[in-house]
Structure 1
Amino acid sequence: MNHMGLNEIREAYLKFFESKAHLRLESFPLVPKDDKSLLLINAGMAPLKPYFTGLKTPPSKRITTCQKCIRTGDIENVGKTSRHATFFEMLGNFSFGDYFKNEIIPWAWEFVTEVLKISKDKLYVTIYLEDDEAYDIWVKTTDIDSSRIFRLGKDDNFWEIGQGPCGPCSEIHFDRGEGKITSSEEFVKASEEDRVVEFWNLVFTQFDKDENGNYNRLQFPNIDTGMGLERISTIMQGTKNIFEIDTIKSILDSVAVLANIKYGEDNKTDVSLRIIADHVKSVTFLICDGVLPSNEGRGYVLRRLLRRAARHGRLLGIKEIFLSKIVDVVVKNYGEAYTELKERIDYIKKVVALEEERFNETIDSGIEILKQFIEEVEEKGEKVLSGEKAFKLYDTYGFPLELTEEILEEKGLKIHIESFKEEMEKQRKRAREARGESNYMGSDDSILNKISKDIGTEFIGYNKLECEGIVKALTKEEDFVSVLGEGEEGIIVTDITPFYAEMGGQVGDTGAILGESFEAQVMDCKKNINGKIIHFVKVLKGKVLIDQKVTLKVDKERRSNIAKNHTATHMLHEALKDILGDHVNQSGSYVDSERLRFDFTHFAALTQEELENIEKLVNEKVMEVYEVHTEVMSIEEAKNSGAIALFDDKYKDEVRVVSVGEFSKELCGGTHVKSSGQIGLFKIVSESGVAAGIRRIEAVTGFNAIKYFENKNKVIKDSAALLKCNEKELLNKIQSNMLELKEKDKEISELKSKLVQGIEEEILNSVKEIKGVKVITFNVKELDANALRDLADKIRDKMTEGVVVLSSTSNEKVNFVAMATKDAVEKGVHCGKIIKEAASIAGGGGGGRPDMAQAGGKLPEKVQDSLKAVYVVVENLVK
């Protein structure tokens, strides 16, 4: 057996299948494209589903990939078992109706025994009970000892998910034990005891299961195999678990150095080391593929992983922000295979550091909340914290369950774990509902995606806005039709079109499709999952027929405005890089006829000066009237030419590169102006943050920019008219008015103060005594929170052994303040508890220290009830 590193095994596998005429594709991003059923890619075949279902035509009938995957279903087991991980790589080779069992079985045996050189007496093969065909091929085309082949049932060796394509599979296993296994029963027992490890699954998709449960043979069966790269690496490197293989051990060791501990000396710290190594690897790949921390969906998966890693760093005694240092080690080990990691390392580290800092802040406020919860539990003399409260800490403060358990344990308390799990399940259900339902393999069965593969539309809209064409398909609602009548809405597919279909952030064209006997309005234009161009229309008069000759006309003015905005987006991207730095990358854009929106990676709000410089640079380049040049080239040529790219459609042979003079060069499939001068004018209208490390700029161009200035001008004119001055005096006039208002506010405040002084005596006279403590409650009309606090302070200073609770109502709200003297506190008075009770009666909340507390309420009519409750609370508190 060769001792091979993980990177070495990956390359050997892909090269082997390239030698068998497979097209090697780079790993697809972790974020699924066109698949609402999946949160994240979780298997090698997941991104290839449309090829299996026939919705898309594969770039080759034979494909091989090493696919990055994330699974978080067993996150609680990560670090505790030998093989659970959230991030893993799946080696796979796939045949879409090309080769079948006759080819893959001997290839698999060749790779395992001749490339990896695994000893044949360490290998076993399982097949489906009834798959005589697979048995015969194993025996006839390889030199496996037939006594090493075991037949197992449906649970082990048959792959199906509900209806649709399914079939038997054959698995290859490695034996870590000694002696030969001689029966199926003995084999199953050895598997359960982890002596035997399955490492490669060959799925033979040969049936289509219908709604009645019948298995119908597929005319063109498929091959779909999967081999876990980490698992085969443990076999090749002879390690006990996946954390000890070369790449992951390197990450784990770097954490151990930071924590100043050794791996393998203490099980508890080993678990933390493994969790951090696994989670930081997942986090690095997720951020690289465009996921950002948030409280839902993919962002929540990322935040949870990041916070678990940070938390385990604290458990190991690492005090400082440290996760971004581990990112360096991940990139060092995986950057050669996944070059995007090296390209985006600074951005990844920045997002990680920001989130870890944020977690450090929330963890401290979470501990304060937990202390309050513990106090409440202890006051009631109970030993269990409710699952709802533990879940609130988990959900709101990102507080891991084990941290809550640990802190409670120190106090001899525990969590009501069943109700915590119920809350967790409710949240999972919400997440599932948000993700949307899906049928088999996540394919979208809408009528749009059922348009025949034989129908193709040629797009000529880069150079022409009008052309003749033939109607090739019509649909209405969810049916194909031969006629679309007056007043009806549907879709038209033609053999040729000048209409741009929505793509790359640019909206689809609108316009008209006309025939001899009809007129249809094109309301939108999109592409279906297979890339076919679809016109969404409303028939204004007459009727459209299949095979009819038509004229297609794009709305010229709207297209012109979209093109202005799109070219301006490219120029803005370049200006941002020039002025803010090379870390700026596009993370999203939207271009329509009214405006442009551009999201980009940057970690602070832009200053007014930066915005002015960006706007000035774009306008300078507009006025230099650069030619906008488009060139079609290979992806390699595009990369070498220095074009900026988000290589999303990685597998197209040719790409369009759009250059604005020497200023900007980008990959783009959108429509553009012929020269930068046509943009006319560029104006930024807003800049804001949309997520951690992501900023957004909105801007207008051309006549929309002129309109923007006209509107601003009108506001200035109307303001001057209202203030009865000319435009030049506007600022002075506003300043003098503000000074006048300040003087009046001061006057009002002084008058209120005099009124309050008059009421002090009345308040002091309303004193009652409870268990030797003087208690004053009083409702003062229309005082703000600050004035109310000052008044309570004065009253307290004139009391001995007492507590004062004041309220004030204004604008349908109530403010409360409570203050107590030092000796009253010593007798048991606690303003925080008093105010909490009083405010809750008035529909509010708040709290504070024993000697001072504030709160608010929403029910002014309940104020007197709140103040009456004060006496009851004081009586219970005073010893």
Structure 2
Amino acid sequence: METSEIRRRFLQYFEDRGHTVVPSAPLPSPDPNLLFNVAGMAQFVPYFVGQQTPPYPRATSVQKCVRTLDIDEVGKTTRHGTFFQMNGNFSFGDYFKEKAIEYAWELVTKPQHEGGYGFDESVLYASVYYEDDEAIDIWKRVAGLPDDRIVRLGMKDNFWSMGIPGPCGPCSEILIDRGPEFGADRDWEAGDRYLEFWNLVFMQNIRGEGGGKEGYPILGELPKKNIDTGLGLERVAYLLQGVDNMYEIDEIYPVIERASELTGRKYGSEHEDDIRFRVVADHVRSALMLIGDGVTPGNEQGGYVLRRLLRRAIRSMRLLGYEDPSLVELLPVSLEQMKKSYPELETDFGRISQVAYAEEEAFRRTLTAGTTIFDVAVRETKASGAHQLEGAKAFQLHDTYGFPIDLTVEMAAEQGLNVDTEGFKSLMKEQRERAKADARAKKAGHADTSGYRELRDKGVTEFTGYQELSTDSQVRGLLREGAVAEFAEQGETVEVVLEKTPFYAESGGQIADEGLIVGDGLRLKVLDVQRPVKGLIVHRVEILEGVLRPGTDVHAQVDHEWRVSACQAHSGTHVVHAALRQVLGPNALQSGSYNKPGYLRLDFAWTSALDPATRSEIEEVANLAVRQDLPVSAQYMTLPEAREWGALALFGETYDEQVRVVEIGGPWSRELCGGTHVKHSSQVGALAVTGESSVGAGVRRIEAFVGMEALHYLGRERALVRLLSENLKTRPEELPAKVADLAERLRTAEKELERMRAAQVLQAGAELASNPRDVFGVQFVGHRAPDGVNGGDLRKLALDVRGRMGNEKPVVVAVLSVNDGKPGVVIALNDTAREWRLKAGDLVRIAAEKLGGRGGGKDDVAQGGGTDPAGADDALSAVEHAIGHQVTG
């Protein structure tokens, strides 16, 4: 049975039994403590913990998940993978243990021709929490299981909680006996013979403080008992498909087959190769799904995980012997399997493949440059007798050549070395602290959200900002450093929650509104507005006058000019996005945005820079749309309706069942968006594209000013053109030709200066060749050229002097210069000197050490440099001494 069919049957079964089918949430998690969703119940947490009222009494879903902790174990065992799918059925106070067990047992054991999975009942077991006699009784009645096929396990194995105080409850698992070839009889700990594939969580209790999976107190029972189940889709697939592990199921194994064809290696014949094949198959599928949900490769958080997965897959293919680009061969194979369950992947494959292939191209360049440096570092480490690569070297590989630390550790292990990861982390921390000293200062949120949740329990904040810029309201509560407070005084900066507010909270790329909140003797300046928990709008305010207390009547007023400019920027972002898609095609999809009054930037999927003509065309299309005075409207509908209508969703965003669709000119621009907008496109005003750049593999960024800021920008450009025209004494329209002429004349002059400098340097060749020093029979020329001579000219001089001196006697020529404060040295030997076993590479390293650097090259010519000009004279003396030592030694 194909994995897609297992998935379909699960959803159909529970839909037929009154469950609402809920689409999977995107892989990126909205929880700030998690990168990705790791459990099927993730999107239902607000219902389980009582933050929100569920819109349906029972639900079912197949949740996309990514587990990052086991990346290093992927391929080494047959049980670890990164991307996986969790089938689940959920009850929010509707049904409980008996119905959950009944549903699970029926679906698992019902014959396949009747829509079930057709598992043999005789090999199925149930595990239960050891005190849960109720569950044991149900298993006996519903499934007819005897006592010897019901296993009592402790809190560690069969009791679930979120790891913090809150809902919890006993679990019951369905296990299958795979037979004696997978382990000993009744060995529940090994996990290979008695494989758990469906976990039923009976959420009925409230737990207290305590760490770990056991030992915390149970405080009582929930007022409503809930059901949360998780059936591992990949596990069921390999059980039903008759294969031994998840890598061999229909959604994954075709990638292994294609990798085997490309590399000429056979899967199953050699352990190390098998590990690499599994890494490739797992990581290619995971990357496909992550990019599909809007993650792009980067150096932080989820982007770093994706980059690491892609690079491990690419490098594994190289270790298997395949040097050519591999993702172009493997990603389409994974698509063919995954699109059966996720057809949107095929629709979006143009963008997905662009991102992936660009990352591979970048990594291939990285490997070429970084591997050379890595090899040198390994040789030096081993030569010194050490067994650990320095943290500074690992940091250099990461910072300069883009090598993830995991890759360095992996490659070092292959060479029998460890890596000083603590030293690396210390350097990384220093770099981050320098780079992000003031980053996200205004977001300094609190890890503990209990204060926000306490205020959220008093009700949802009503947002009135779509209809008005001011409203009368009442202070529902205030927080100081995340904790609920009773009052705050003049001069303090605190957070305020109102019953209703016109202030837009930062989201969807649009920054928060600014303005004032005033009351009787009270004046607050709004600095920021956020939504720390769903349904709650929190204002960070500076108290300019008065004492702030809960229950105070206030008037909230958004800064009118601020909002107008913000609307111009947000609507301008939609206009630019539509213009991009019109000019470049449908694959130029937005992958992130930021807009504030007068300014916008938009990240989009694209692999190459836009030429000036294309940028101008995009700008023209956008301004034509503004000029056409297109109507701007917003309406609410269900998410499926919005998708069917063709509305574009921002990748990685989590949407409610009801979504807001913003249109500009009908279908020309139709996007899911919660931001504030103008009423007609003409209100955006002027739109000036100011820049376009790369922000990562397969992602470009376009920036623009709108409204008055665009006019100010164009005014500055006009003033600059006028100034240049006056200084160059030419008309504005003739400026490009005039500047091009000046640049060409400058290049010609620089080439002439270069020729004259080289000729001047070479003039010294004859004199140097005629006056060598005799060093125990070796004719040595040591010369410090004038400052400013570059490495190329030094090399020409050394070769010229060597050529003039012939081969009758051994000749060593060492020439040195300091250029831009950095010394460089070139050493050239004739054939006779090399017969005397002298080597240019050895000598240049000696010189470079005195210069505070390094060098290398061939036996006849070598080059080096450093950072210490003061060592120049010592460097030439050291070379002369080394010649004498080697000749006489």
Q: Would you say same fold, with TM above 0.5?
A: yes
Letter of the aligned partner of 1:237 in structure 2?
A: Q
Instruction: Tell me the residue number matched to 1:798.
Output: 804
Residue number among 176, 179, 199 corresponding to 2:178 in the alignment: 176
Letter of the aligned partner of 1:598 in structure 2?
A: L
1:198 aligns with 2:196: yes
Q: CA deviation at 1:122?
A: 0.6
Instruction: Tell me the residue number matched to 1:78.
Output: 74
| TM-aligned CA distance change 1:421 to 1:17, over 3 Å | farther
Q: CA deviation at 1:252?
A: 3.0
1:841 aligns with 2:842: no
Instruction: Tell me the residue number matched to 1:411.
Output: none
Residue number among 788, 791, 802 corresponding to 2:794 in the alignment: 788
**Secondary structure in 1 aligned to 2:468?**
coil
Residue number among 215, 218, 222 corresponding to 2:218 in the alignment: 215
Find the aligned partners of 1:11 and 1:292 in 2 and give their Cα distance. 29
- 8 Å CA contact 2:395, 2:424 repeated in 1: no
Q: CA deviation at 1:711?
A: 1.3
Please say which of residues 296-305 and 322-331 is displaced more in the overlay.
296-305
1:447 aligns with 2:447: no
Instruction: Tell me the residue number matched to 1:24.
Output: 21
**Secondary structure in 1 aligned to 2:852?**
coil
1:653 aligns with 2:658: yes
Instruction: Tell me the residue number matched to 2:8.
Output: 11
Letter of the aligned partner of 1:767 in structure 2?
A: P
- 8 Å CA contact 2:391, 2:424 repeated in 1: no
Letter of the aligned partner of 1:86 in structure 2?
A: T
Write out aligned runs for 1:592-671 (5 A). 592-646=596-650, 648-660=653-665, 663-671=668-676
Find the aligned partners of 2:208 and 2:83 in 1 and give their Cα distance. 32
Superposed CA offset, 1:691-724 (max 9, x none): 0111111101121111011112222344455557
Find the aligned partners of 2:190 and 2:424 in 1 and give their Cα distance. 30
| TM-aligned CA distance change 1:253 to 1:633, over 3 Å | same
Superposed CA offset, 1:739-783 (max 9, x none): 776687577667756764665466446633445432222222322
Instruction: Tell me the residue number matched to 1:481.
Output: 485
| TM-aligned CA distance change 1:324 to 1:267, over 3 Å | same
Instruction: Tell me the residue number matched to 2:131.
Output: 130
Instruction: Tell me the residue number matched to 2:562.
Output: 558
- 8 Å CA contact 1:83, 1:231 repeated in 2: no
1:292 aligns with 2:291: no
Instruction: Tell me the residue number matched to 2:113.
Output: none
Please say which of residues 690-699 and 313-322 is displaced more in the overlay.
313-322
Instruction: Tell me the residue number matched to 1:68.
Output: 64
| TM-aligned CA distance change 1:300 to 1:282, over 3 Å | same
- 8 Å CA contact 1:633, 1:657 repeated in 2: no
Find the aligned partners of 1:728 and 1:276 in 2 and give their Cα distance. 56
Please say which of residues 688-697 and 762-771 is displaced more in the overlay.
762-771
Q: CA deviation at 1:560?
A: 0.9
Find the aligned partners of 1:672 and 1:454 in 2 and give their Cα distance. 30
Please say which of residues 263-272 and 67-76 is displaced more in the overlay.
263-272
- 8 Å CA contact 2:455, 2:476 repeated in 1: no
Find the aligned partners of 1:425 and 1:517 in 2 and give their Cα distance. 52
**Secondary structure in 2 aligned to 1:637?**
helix
| TM-aligned CA distance change 1:731 to 1:86, over 3 Å | closer
Q: CA deviation at 1:373?
A: 5.5
- 8 Å CA contact 2:449, 2:482 repeated in 1: no
1:543 aligns with 2:552: no
**Secondary structure in 2 aligned to 1:294?**
coil
| TM-aligned CA distance change 1:94 to 1:772, over 3 Å | farther
Q: CA deviation at 1:238?
A: 2.6
Find the aligned partners of 1:186 and 1:478 in 2 and give their Cα distance. 53
Q: TM-score, normalised by structure 1?
A: 0.88
Letter of the aligned partner of 1:798 in structure 2?
A: R
Find the aligned partners of 1:180 and 1:590 in 2 and give their Cα distance. 54
Letter of the aligned partner of 2:862 in structure 1?
A: A
- 8 Å CA contact 1:394, 1:400 repeated in 2: no
Letter of the aligned partner of 1:195 in structure 2?
A: R
**Secondary structure in 1 aligned to 2:785?**
strand
**Secondary structure in 1 aligned to 2:252?**
helix
**Secondary structure in 1 aligned to 2:295?**
coil
Find the aligned partners of 1:728 and 1:390 in 2 and give their Cα distance. 52
Superposed CA offset, 1:180-206 (max 9, x none): 99xxx95126x5283221212223342
Q: CA deviation at 1:614?
A: 0.8
Give identity over the alignment, percent.
37
| TM-aligned CA distance change 1:517 to 1:271, over 3 Å | closer
Please say which of residues 868-877 and 689-698 is displaced more in the overlay.
868-877
Write out aligned runs for 1:382-397 (5 A). 397=403
Letter of the aligned partner of 2:691 in structure 1?
A: S
Instruction: Tell me the residue number matched to 1:582.
Output: 586
Q: CA deviation at 1:573?
A: 0.9
Instruction: Tell me the residue number matched to 2:152.
Output: 151
Q: CA deviation at 1:416?
A: 2.9
Superposed CA offset, 1:595-620 (max 9, x none): 00011011110000001111111112
Instruction: Tell me the residue number matched to 2:687.
Output: 682
**Secondary structure in 2 aligned to 1:714?**
helix
- 8 Å CA contact 2:569, 2:595 repeated in 1: yes
- 8 Å CA contact 2:598, 2:708 repeated in 1: no
Residue number among 34, 38, 41 corresponding to 1:42 in the alignment: 38
- 8 Å CA contact 2:283, 2:313 repeated in 1: yes
Find the aligned partners of 2:194 and 2:703 in 1 and give their Cα distance. 59
Residue number among 104, 121, 124 corresponding to 1:108 in the alignment: 104
Superposed CA offset, 1:616-643 (max 9, x none): 1111221222222223333333233333
Letter of the aligned partner of 2:355 in structure 1?
A: V
Write out aligned runs for 1:416-565 (5 A). 416-417=417-418, 419=419, 444-445=448-449, 447-565=451-569
Q: CA deviation at 1:316?
A: 4.4
Find the aligned partners of 1:180 and 1:328 in 2 and give their Cα distance. 35
Superposed CA offset, 1:4-33 (max 9, x none): 322122222223333444333222222211
Letter of the aligned partner of 1:208 in structure 2?
A: R
Find the aligned partners of 2:509 and 2:68 in 1 and give their Cα distance. 31
Q: CA deviation at 1:498?
A: 1.8
**Secondary structure in 2 aligned to 1:246?**
coil
Write out aligned runs for 1:702-717 (5 A). 702-717=707-722
1:274 aligns with 2:274: no
Find the aligned partners of 1:542 and 1:789 in 2 and give their Cα distance. 77
- 8 Å CA contact 1:518, 1:544 repeated in 2: yes
Find the aligned partners of 2:378 and 2:835 in 1 and give their Cα distance. 23
| TM-aligned CA distance change 1:533 to 1:78, over 3 Å | closer
Letter of the aligned partner of 1:202 in structure 2?
A: L
Superposed CA offset, 1:204-252 (max 9, x none): 3424132594332242454433221111222222322223333333333
Find the aligned partners of 2:481 and 2:410 in 1 and give their Cα distance. 53
| Structure 2 unaligned blocks of 5 or more | 111-115, 441-445
Letter of the aligned partner of 1:63 in structure 2?
A: A
| TM-aligned CA distance change 1:322 to 1:516, over 3 Å | same
| TM-aligned CA distance change 1:177 to 1:746, over 3 Å | closer
Instruction: Tell me the residue number matched to 1:869.
Output: 878
Find the aligned partners of 2:23 and 2:560 in 1 and give their Cα distance. 40
- 8 Å CA contact 1:386, 1:415 repeated in 2: no
- 8 Å CA contact 1:638, 1:657 repeated in 2: no
Write out aligned runs for 1:825-840 (5 A). 825-840=834-849
1:94 aligns with 2:90: yes
Find the aligned partners of 2:500 and 2:43 in 1 and give their Cα distance. 30
Instruction: Tell me the residue number matched to 2:443.
Output: none
- 8 Å CA contact 1:55, 1:529 repeated in 2: no
Q: CA deviation at 1:789?
A: 3.1
